[in-house]
Structure 1
Amino acid sequence: MEDSLPAAALGHFVMKVQNIEASYQFYIGLGLRAFDTFPGMAIVELRGGTHLLLFQKDDQQSSALQNSHVGQRPDFGSEKLDLMISGRTEADLEHYRAGLIDNGYSPSAIADGVLYGHHYFTMQDPDGNGISFYTSHCSDKPV
């Protein structure tokens, strides 16, 4: 019988940050799950079990790590994170965005139009890394 889940998931995404505690609190405030902190590193869990690994910049532990480069929009420079909310509609995205504003964040307005079927907005983390938040276009199958 065929397994209905995809064969693999993104396990870890590495970001080097200036202040681990500030970045840890920032990402938890976005609704990501606090996982654990360690000397020179913190872990935040995303939907599906992917872990965002926050390493202290210019630390011996992180010096061997490459900077991560992802995303499809050049809005904020080279180091960037694309996140998809669970909602599929512009109204779902606006609800999520309004919650961020209520919690003291400063996201951009939702962009006019769609990008590859997504509604989206952007903001910056404490290090100035750009983050884009998109509506979901995941299939109806379990992921």
Structure 2
Amino acid sequence: MTVRLNALSIVAADMGRSLAFYRCLGLDIPASADTEPHVEVTLPGGMRLLWDTEDVVRSFQPDWVRRGSDGMSLAFEAGSPAEVDKVYAQLVEAGHHGELAPWDAFWGQRYAVVLDPDGNGVDLFAAL
């Protein structure tokens, strides 16, 4: 088989709000993308992160409904344990839901979880 993971996709209820969240995590997304129905960003290493509005998804799947995302999350590595705390605090102060406050996990990481505007889990971590 020659399939390989190439992109991760997020369905956004509010594109501008979703992109603003991911900009806080350091992604270089132009402000002009806030009003686009589809956005793609190529990450270091070639992986792509994609966003589509709910309307775009319904244009090819009319019966689409949001099902939640408890089974998957995106994980962002911070430069230090203190940076995990700082980024978590910034996101929560910006009005995003802190799902799991920073803590020293038994597997050797400072670890926290914040939900993006569409309810997707976003892990923040750094080696202890």
User: Given the two structures, how large is their TM-score scaled by the length of structure 2?
Assistant: 0.64
Amino acid at match of 1:119: R
Q: 1:101 to 1:46 in 2, by over 3 A?
A: farther
Asked if the contact 1:14–1:55 (Cα under 8 Å) also holds between the matched residues in 2, the reply is: yes
Structure 2 residues without counterparts, runs of 5 or longer = 62-68
Does the 8 Å contact 1:13/1:52 carry over to 2? yes
Match of 1:24 in 2: 19
Task: Summarize the alignment of residues 1-143 of structure 1 with structure 2, pairs less than 5 Å apart.
Answer: 11-35=6-30, 37=33, 39-48=36-45, 50-57=47-54, 58-60=57-59, 63=61, 77-85=70-78, 87=79, 89-101=80-92, 103-107=94-98, 108-111=100-103, 113-114=104-105, 116-135=107-126
Offset of residue 110 of structure 1: 0.6
Contact 2:96-2:117 within 8 A present in 1 as well? no
State the Cα deviation string for residues 16-74 of structure 1 (Å, max 9, x = none): 1222222112211232211563742123454545331011224325x4xxxxxxxxxxx
- The 1:21/1:11 distance shift into structure 2, 3 A limit, reads same
**Bigger helix fraction:** 2
Q: Distance in 2 between matches of 1:81 and 1:126?
A: 13
Supply the distance in 2 between the matched residues of 1:84 and 1:20 (Cα, whole angstroms).
24
Residues 83-134 of structure 1 deviation map (CA, whole Å, 9 limit, x = unaligned): 222x1x42232233344355454534212x3253322101111111111111
The CA RMSD measured in Å over matched residues stands at 3.2
- Aligned-pair identity in percent equals 25
Q: Secondary structure at the match of 1:119?
A: strand
Q: 1:32 to 1:39 in 2, by over 3 A?
A: closer
Unaligned ranges ≥5, structure 1: 1-9, 64-75, 138-143
Give the direction of change, closer, same or farther, for the CA distance of 1:100–1:22 in structure 2 (3 Å limit).
closer
